[in-house]
């Protein structure tokens, strides 16, 4: 399953049953992508650490200028 995008024209032209399947497929796609992200805690933790370091540095620089 890939990333599903439905434009407004397709949504309006579809039946109620088709809309239910579009919604279901989109939720399944989101679930699969989240599961893949959750399997990579090292990468996520690394970016969290990097963001904390950069944020701390920028905050320190901002406080020195005040």
Q: How far apart are CA 54 and CA 49, in angstroms?
A: 9
Ordered DSSP codes for the chain: -------HHHHHHS-HHHHHHHHHHHHHHHHHHHHHHHT-HHHHHHHHHHHHHHHHHHHHHHHHH-
> Hey, what are 49's tokens?
């650490």
Taking only the tens of pLDDT, the chain with its 66 residues reads 556 678 889 889 999 999 999 889 888 888 988 888 788 877 778 888 999 999 999 898 887 765
């Amino acid at each position: 399953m890939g990333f599903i995008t439905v434009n407004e024209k397709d949504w309006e032209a579809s039946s109620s049953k088709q809309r239910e399947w579009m919604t279901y497929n989109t939720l399944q796609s989101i679930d699969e992508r989240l599961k893949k992200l959750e399997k990579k805690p090292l990468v996520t933790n690394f970016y969290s650490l990097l963001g904390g370091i950069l944020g701390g540095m920028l905050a320190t620089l901002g406080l020195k200028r005040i």
